[in-house]
Chains A and B, each alone.
Chain A
Amino acid sequence: MEDGIALNKTVILQRNNVLKAVKLIPEKVIVFERMRFKPENAIGLPFGSVFEVKNGDLNPVNSSLSLEEMETAGEDNRNLVDTHGKSQTLNRQDLIQMKEDGATGKEIVQSLVENSSSFAGKTVFSQKKYLKKKQKKHLAYLQLLKPTSRLICKLYQEREPAKICHMRIDSMSQLLTSTNVRHGSKVAVFETCSGLLLGMVLERLAGKGSIVNLHPGETPVNLFAVSHFNFPDEYWDNLHSLPLHKLAPLLAGNSFQSTFDESNKTTCESEVPLESNDSSTDIANENNSKLEIAIPLDIKAVENLNEKACNGPLKRKLSLSDKEKTAIRVERQKKRFNHQKAAWELLESRNMDALIVASRFHPTPIVLSLLEVLAVSKPFAIYFEYKEALMELFVRLSVSGAAINLQLTDTFMRQYQVLPERTHPHVMMRGHGGYLLTGIKVRPFSAQQEK
Chain B
Amino acid sequence: MSFNVCGKSVKENDVIIVFMGHDSMFPLSVKEGEITQTKYGAIKHNSLLGHGYGTKFSCTKGWVYILQATPELWTLCLPHRTQILYTADIAMITLQLDLKPGSVVCESGTGSGSLSHAILRTVAPMGHLHTVEFNEGRCNKATAEFGEHGLSQYVTVYHRDVINEGFPVENAADAVFLDIPRPDEAVKVAAKALKTTGGRFCSFSPCIEQTQRTCATLRKPGSGFCEVETLELVRRSHNVKRVYIPIADIGIGDSEVRTALIKGENNTSSVLPCAYEAGDDMPVGEIIIRTTPENKDGLSSSKNPKRAKFDMSSSQISQGGGKSYEKGKTPPAATKYAFSTRTCILPKEIYGHTGYLTFATYRPGLSHKV
Interchain nearest-CB distance for A347 vs B (Å)? 18
8 Å CB interface, A403-442 against B: 404-405, 407-416, 418-420, 423, 435, 440-442
Is B42 part of the contact surface with A, judged by Cβ < 8 Å? no
A177 to B54, CA, bound (A): 20
Give the interface segment out of A44-52, A284-292, A297-305: A44-52
Contact yes or no, A150 B19, CB < 8 A:
no
- Cβ 8 A contact of A50, one of B88, B90, B124, B366: B366
A440 to B90, CA, bound (A): 19
> Interface code A379-401, partner B: CB below 8 Å = 1, 0 otherwise?
10000000110011011000000
* Residues of B close to A182: CB separation below 8 A: 101, 121-122, 124
* Residues of A close to B101: CB separation below 8 A: 182-183, 204-206, 208
Contact yes or no, A66 B368, CB < 8 A:
yes
A172 to B22, CA, bound (A): 23
Is A132 part of the contact surface with B, judged by Cβ < 8 Å? yes
**Residue of A at shortest CB range from B96?**
A150
Is A64 part of the contact surface with B, judged by Cβ < 8 Å? yes
Contact yes or no, B366 A48, CB < 8 A:
yes
Interchain nearest-CB distance for A64 vs B (Å)? 6
* Residues of B close to A392: CB separation below 8 A: 342
> Interface code B226-263, partner A: CB below 8 Å = 1, 0 otherwise?
00111111111110100000000000000000000000
**Residue of A at shortest CB range from B5?**
A184
Is A65 part of the contact surface with B, judged by Cβ < 8 Å? yes
A259 to B231, CA, bound (A): 50
Contact yes or no, A176 B91, CB < 8 A:
yes
- Cβ 8 A contact of B91, one of A178, A420, A443: A178
* Residues of A close to B221: CB separation below 8 A: 66, 68
- Cβ 8 A contact of A440, one of B54, B100, B233, B236: B54
A153 to B343, CA, bound (A): 31
With A150-B95, A176-B94, A204-B122 as contacts: A404 and B367 at CB distance below 8 Å: no
* Residues of B close to A405: CB separation below 8 A: 19, 22
With A64-B367, A180-B70, A391-B342 as contacts: A169 and B22 at CB distance below 8 Å: no
A392 to B284, CA, bound (A): 12
With A149-B95, A182-B121, A442-B65 as contacts: A63 and B367 at CB distance below 8 Å: yes
**Residue of B at shortest CB range from A435?**
B238
A440 to B55, CA, bound (A): 11
Q: Count CB-based A-B contacts (< 8 Å).
A: 172
Is A450 part of the contact surface with B, judged by Cβ < 8 Å? no
Instruction: Report how many residues on chain B are interfacial, defined by Cβ distance under 8 Å.
Output: 67
Contact yes or no, B122 A170, CB < 8 A:
no
* Residues of B close to A419: CB separation below 8 A: 215
* Residues of A close to B124: CB separation below 8 A: 182-183
**Residue of A at shortest CB range from B22?**
A405
Main secondary structure of the interface of B (DSSP, over half): mixed
Contact yes or no, B233 A418, CB < 8 A:
no
Is A375 part of the contact surface with B, judged by Cβ < 8 Å? yes
- Cβ 8 A contact of A418, one of B19, B68, B212: B212
With A150-B95, A405-B19, A413-B232 as contacts: A418 and B122 at CB distance below 8 Å: no
Contact yes or no, A63 B22, CB < 8 A:
no
Is B331 part of the contact surface with A, judged by Cβ < 8 Å? no
Is A230 part of the contact surface with B, judged by Cβ < 8 Å? no
With A67-B370, A408-B237, A423-B212 as contacts: A177 and B230 at CB distance below 8 Å: no
Q: List 26 A-B contacts (CB under 8 A).
A: A46-B197, A46-B198, A149-B98, A150-B95, A153-B95, A169-B92, A169-B95, A170-B88, A176-B95, A177-B72, A178-B87, A377-B53, A377-B54, A391-B344, A394-B240, A404-B19, A407-B237, A410-B236, A411-B234, A412-B235, A412-B236, A413-B231, A413-B234, A415-B229, A416-B230, A443-B55
Which A residues contact B (CB, under 8 angstroms)? 2, 46-48, 50, 63-68, 132, 148-150, 153, 169-170, 172-174, 176-178, 180, 182-183, 203-206, 208, 375-379, 387-388, 391-392, 394-395, 404-405, 407-416, 418-420, 423, 435, 440-443
Which B residues contact A (CB, under 8 angstroms)? 8, 19, 22, 52-56, 65-68, 70-72, 87-88, 90-92, 94-96, 98, 100-102, 118, 121-122, 124-126, 197-198, 208, 211-212, 215-216, 221, 228-238, 240, 284, 342-344, 356, 358, 361, 363, 365-370
Given contacts A208-B101, A418-B212, A418-B230, 19 further A-B contacts (CB under 8 A): A48-B363, A48-B366, A170-B91, A173-B91, A176-B95, A377-B54, A377-B66, A377-B67, A378-B68, A391-B238, A392-B342, A407-B22, A409-B236, A413-B231, A418-B228, A419-B215, A440-B19, A442-B54, A443-B55
Which 10 pairs from chain A and chain B are nearest by CB? A376-B54, A377-B54, A177-B91, A66-B367, A206-B101, A173-B91, A173-B95, A377-B53, A412-B234, A416-B230
